[in-house]
Structure formats: C-alpha cells, structure tokens
Amino acid sequence: MFLKIFSLFFFFISYFNANAKGIVEIIRENPNLSSFYSYINNTELEATLQQKFPWNWTIFVPNNKAFDALPKKVYDQILSDTSLRKMLILDHILIGQKSSSDLTSKITEEITVTNKSIQLFKRESLYVKDMVVVNENTSADNGVIHEINCVMFVQPSQEDERLTKLQKDKFPITSCCMQTDNEIDSWLKSVNSRF
C-alpha cells in the first residue's frame, strides 16, 4: 500500500513539474507579448530567465501595443543596440515574486535588476507608479508576469531635467511611459553615466 501511495505521489509531482511553464515559455506563447519576446530571444536574458535560481522573478512585460507606440528614436538608438536593449528590458524585472495580492494602497518601493527603484501599489488595479497593469499575476513556475501598456522609463529624479528642484527632492524616482525625445535622451544619459 505504501508503495502505491508513493508511486502515485511521484507520478503527480512528475506530471505537474513536466507541465509547469516558466516565464519565458509563457511570454513566448502569448501573442500579445511577441514583441517583448523578440527582444529577449537569442540573448543571454532568455537563458538567464530560464535557469533555476533560489528566487523567482517579477516581470512587467510591455505588450505589443506598448512597442507600437514607441517613438522611432527608441528603435534607432536603444532597441537596435544589444547592450542598451538589455538595460531597458532589465528595468522591467525584479528579483523576487510580487503579485498584486502582496500589495496594498500604500506605496512600496522595489528595486529592479538594474538597481533602479520603482513604486508599486494596488487599488482597483495594480500600478507601477502611474502605469496601470492591464493583465496581472500570470503565474509561472519561476515567477509572475504583469502585462503593461507601455515601455517603462525609470530613472532617479535627480537626473530628470524635466523636474524642478522641489519635485526632485519630493519624488526620488521618475517612472512613466517612454514617449518623448526628452525621456529617451534622459534615459540614455542615465545609462551612459553608469558605464
């Protein structure tokens, strides 16, 4: 009897592990996220996100509409450059799993893989500062995916030339959708200052 129970238990564990999908597989299979997948495909990011680590990932994945809305300058100066493209994608990834059930209306700060702080909170929807997550909590065996409608622009407010001194002192992080030439230039300047 014990052997039958053990065999059944082992079968279920094997079955569920074989059918568990990682974050890369879920992104690859979602037609709304094909642009994001095309930018991680055939890079070390894809391989890294498929490895087993002692932690899970949280990824804020811009959907195809988000990539379609990007200014041409982003394609010409960021997405066409492998190093800059990786930095931009890593701005959307957290180490550790954060689902909307982990959050409240109180703003919490999390750190991206690129060591940038982002603010998360949950009201009716999950928010990354002012950006609404349009599809929350897609679970994978190694993390969670939140679909967003824009490509995030994250930088320390002190580096954001659009803000006044008072705004820079009051809000330590600028995060919004990358839409203007000024935002693109600020992001590039911020990244280049790190190298």
Could you tell me the domains of the chain?
Answer: 21-150 (2.30.180.10)
- Whether pTM exceeds 0.95: no
106-116 pLDDT tens trace: 777 788 888 88
Question: In 30-63, which residue ranges form alpha helices assigned H by DSSP?
Answer: 34-40, 44-50
- For helices 82-90 and 181-194, angle between their N-to-C axes, nearest 10 degrees: 100
What pLDDT does residue 17 have?
45
What pLDDT does residue 123 have?
75
What pLDDT does residue 15 have?
41
What b/e string do you get for 145-166 counting C-beta neighbours within 10 Å, with b at 16 or more?
Answer: bbbbebbbbbbebeebeeeeee
Q: For the chain, give the mean pLDDT.
A: 79
Spans of the chain, pLDDT less than 70: 1-19, 125-132, 155-163, 167-175, 194-195
What pLDDT does residue 173 have?
59
- 116 near 109, Cβ under 8 Å? no
What pLDDT does residue 120 have?
81
What pLDDT does residue 88 have?
92
